[in-house]
Structure 1
Amino acid sequence: MKLSYIPLIVVDFSEAVQFWRDVAKLPLTYSDEATGFASFDTGSTTLLLVSRNTFASANEVVTPAQEQNHSMYLSFQVDNVDATYADLIAGGATSVYEPRDFPHMQARQAHVTDPDGHLVELYTPFPKA
């Protein structure tokens, strides 16, 4: 199996596109507000945004309102956790915890949530000795 994309169901499609394109700085590869789909290049796996209404009508299901569900999260390796964290917070992300070192994981990390409450990890591995 190959993980090809990760879909996020979003409430405010325009706000979500703006956040991931302009704040997180992911390259937008496709967007159609009328159909409620957008995709972003992450370098290895596509991040797909699907509006809640589009998902519900396409799958004939009612999706519950977004809650702070942290049973899964997106993890992005970045060049500078502190700078990326600051940029995301300034752009509307909510802090879960500020950048800090995790010696047992050999990385500096921070966590934020996007405007829909999806948990996002930022990490930078420690330099190899």
Structure 2
Amino acid sequence: MRCSYIRLLVNDYVASFRFYRDVMKLPVLWGSEITRYAEFDVYSPTRLALNEREVMAEALGTIEKDAALPGQDRVSVIFEVDDVDHSAAELVAAGAPQVSPPKDWSAWGIRAAHFRDPDGYLLEINRPLVPET
């Protein structure tokens, strides 16, 4: 078994589509602002997909259930970058809401920064820490 997609079920599809295309600058592999479903290239075998939450709820027959996310994050999408500080500065300049600035998470072996997309999903950009020799 391999992970082929990370699919985010979003409330504001257009804002999320624009965020991943224009702010995160991910190439669109399929879909547009009006398709209610899109796939993005995240430069790995795994793809990031957006699906309008209502479309999936209709498909699964759960449209009457509460669609709100709980208070704690339930998913985080991780992007590895060459330079966390530079990438974080670019995201901030492009309007991405920053949750935590770049810092070393030595227990995790990474330098990372965290952001939110328009639907509140947690995004992490990171780079492995280089061990001191």
Task: Report the TM range for the smaller structure's normalisation.
Answer: 0.7 to 0.9
**Aligned CA-pair RMSD:** 1.9
Query: Match for 1:116: what amino acid?
Result: D
Pairing 1:53–2:51 present: no
Question: CA, structure 1 residues 54+92, in 2 after alignment: closer, same or farther (shift >3 Å)?
Answer: farther
For the pair 1:110 / 2:103, whether they are aligned, the reply is: no
Report the TM-score, using the length of structure 2 for normalisation: 0.85
What secondary structure sits across from 1:25 in the alignment?
Answer: coil
- Shift in alpha-carbon separation, 1:92–1:115, aligned structure 2, 3 A: farther
Matched pairs, number: 129
TM-superposed deviation, 1:66: 4.2
Residue identity in the other structure for 1:2: R
Residue 101 of structure 1 aligns with an amino acid whose one-letter code is D
Tell me the distance in 2 between the aligned counterparts of 1:35 and 1:107.
36
Runs of 4+ aligned structure 1 residues displaced above 3 Å come to 32-35, 66-69
Q: Could you list the per-position Cα deviations for residues 34-61 of structure 1 after superposition, in whole angstroms to 9, with x for gaps in the alignment? A: 5410001112211110012211222221
After TM superposition, give the deviation of residue 120 of structure 1 in Å. 0.8
* AA of the residue aligned to 1:106: G
What SS is found at the alignment partner of 1:87? helix
Instruction: Kindly provide the amino acid, as one letter, of the partner of residue 10 in structure 1.
Output: V
In 1, Cα distance between the equivalents of 2:36 and 2:72?
22
TM-score scaled by length of structure 1: 0.87
Give secondary structure in 2 for the equivalent of 1:105.
Answer: coil
The residue number in structure 2 matching 1:71 is 74
Inter-partner Cα distance in structure 2 for 1:36 and 1:117:
18
1:123 to 120, 126, 133: 126
Secondary structure of the equivalent of 2:31?
strand
| CA–CA distance in structure 2, aligned partners of residues 116 and 29 of structure 1 | 21
Identity of aligned residues (%): 38
Unmatched segments (≥5 aa) in structure 2: none
Segments of 5+ residues of structure 1 without an aligned counterpart are none
Query: Residues 59 and 35 (structure 1 numbering): CA distance in 2 closer, same or farther, change over 3 Å?
Result: farther
